[in-house]
Structure 1
Amino acid sequence: MNAEPNNFIEHTNLKTDLSDRDIDQLIKEAKRFKFRGICIPPFWVKKASRELMNTDIQLVTVVGFPLGYQRTESKIKEIELAIQDGADELDLVMNISAFKSGMNWPKIEMAKAAKLAHENNKLLKVIVETALLSTEELANVCKIVSDAGVDFIKTSTGLSSRGASMQDIITMKENVSNQVGIKASGGIKTLAELKSLVKAGADRIGTSSGVSIMKEFQNE
């Protein structure tokens, strides 16, 4: 890994009980360590957008969080509002229920969301919740994501039975197109874990432990 860890980190806080003080702290830390971005709930996007003005820090929020089985129309509206509030990137939870039912709908939904994001010069990531997928299913999802024109595939919400694993990233790297980036998220707490996942193919790291990871790096 040639680049410094902060270039990969999306500093994340998606806890239910976070307050405006938590958002202020997240932004302060992101500015201090020059993180790639912050990932926060939709409710706080407008506030964060004002605070991040004239910085290179990407403002990321979630759509269809955390289960993904909302109607597509609802997700599209969420994207529209997030863009209106100032989001740069949208992390959309895939409809795993529809995928497990053998429906083509997840691909249609992703394509609609990607089209909307790209029309507004935004990036779309799709959270596929790897803990709920077999290796074969994950490989199939990678192909769906690639065909739908999504910018990134993301491992997890951080709320399932586990987060990112090395095997997840390897499977993703082997099956997504070259145009699709990989975001590892969920349970990544140390510099060693970050380095391993980046080496395996991750382009972004979503973590709530960005500060401690950077302190590890600075102490090396």
Structure 2
Amino acid sequence: MSRRADVAQLIDHTLLKPESTRADVERLVAEAAELGTYSVCVSPNMLPLTDNRGLKVATVCGFPSGAHKAQVKAAEAAQSVRDGADEIDMVIDIAQLKSGDVAGTEAEIRAVREAAPAPTVLKVIIESALLTDDEIVAACRASEAAGADFVKTSTGMNPAGGASVHAVELMAQTVGGRLGVKASGGVRTGEDAEAMIAAGATRLGVSGSRALLEGLK
């Protein structure tokens, strides 16, 4: 396989703008199939997809703030699975983690995990740009203890910023290959993608996938 094809297979081709229509999502799916990405990631209101072209289907939960009750996130995740989602990207309650309630973070992740059991893939968005290094480590450990499959840097919606090489490296070191690491938010160029992969990312959240793949050396 070419490098472009290899990187494409790490991409969740993403469209999460609230104004996106079903026609926009259909174009996203067609583009993802053309580019050979791993999946498409869409808002829960767009599920079920009429034709996923054989791609994995990801959606979000508690998005974008994470400021929802755990039982609400669990219900949202369960509905998305019923609607055909293969993967759930949930946002943690960031205030809860930053207040030092790591046990609460673990409990809410476990609630979503129980609502969306394997083989559904669960990714945990920690909004790393808002966290200290110690908080990033704590969030990753809570995710692993609760049975998540991936830790993910960012929603891409927070003004504090998206993925950074430092955060991805720290997350990858913490989970030690036992969980995947998804870099998302601001991953726009081929150079960005290569830097995140070198730092330990095993999945990429990208909205401008065509430009990124065409920009690979």
Tell me the TM-score normalized by structure 2: 0.93
2: CA distance, partners of 1:83 / 1:144: 23
How far 1:177 sits from its partner (Å)?
4.2
Confirm or deny that 1:41 pairs with 2:43. Answer: yes
2: CA distance, partners of 1:140 / 1:75: 20
Confirm or deny that 1:7 pairs with 2:9. Answer: yes
Q: Counterpart of 1:147?
A: 145
Confirm or deny that 1:215 pairs with 2:217. Answer: no
CA RMSD after TM alignment: 1.5
Q: Which runs of 4+ in 1 moved over 4 A?
A: none
Q: Counterpart of 2:129?
A: 131
Q: Counterpart of 2:192?
A: 193
DSSP-derived class of the 1:167 partner:
helix
Task: Answer whether contact 2:75 2:115 (CA < 8 A) is retained.
Answer: no
Q: Which runs of 5+ in 2 are unaligned?
A: none
DSSP-derived class of the 2:81 partner:
helix
Q: Counterpart of 1:74?
A: 72
How far 1:73 sits from its partner (Å)?
1.1
AA paired with 1:90? I
2: CA distance, partners of 1:178 / 1:201: 9
- Count of residues paired in the alignment: 213
Q: Which runs of 5+ in 1 are unaligned?
A: none
Provide, for residues 165-216 of structure 1, a one-character-per-residue CA deviation record: whole Å limited to 9, x for no partner. 0001111011114321000000111011101101110000001110111222
DSSP-derived class of the 1:4 partner:
helix
1: CA distance, partners of 2:204 / 2:24: 20
How far 1:114 sits from its partner (Å)?
1.7
DSSP-derived class of the 1:80 partner:
helix
Task: Answer whether contact 1:42 1:82 (CA < 8 A) is retained.
Answer: yes
Query: How high is the sequence identity, in percent, across the aligned residues?
Result: 33
Task: Answer whether contact 1:59 1:88 (CA < 8 A) is retained.
Answer: yes
Provide, for residues 101-139 of structure 1, a one-character-per-residue CA deviation record: whole Å limited to 9, x for no partner. 2222110111121233225x2010000001110112111
Provide, for residues 133-166 of structure 1, a one-character-per-residue CA deviation record: whole Å limited to 9, x for no partner. 0112111211111111110000000011210000
Q: Counterpart of 2:111?
A: 112
Provide, for residues 42-87 of structure 1, a one-character-per-residue CA deviation record: whole Å limited to 9, x for no partner. 00021x2x3115x1x1100000001112111111110111011100
2: CA distance, partners of 1:170 / 1:73: 31
1: CA distance, partners of 2:18 / 2:111: 28
* Alignment match of 2:61 (pick from 60, 63, 70): 63
Q: Counterpart of 2:98?
A: 100
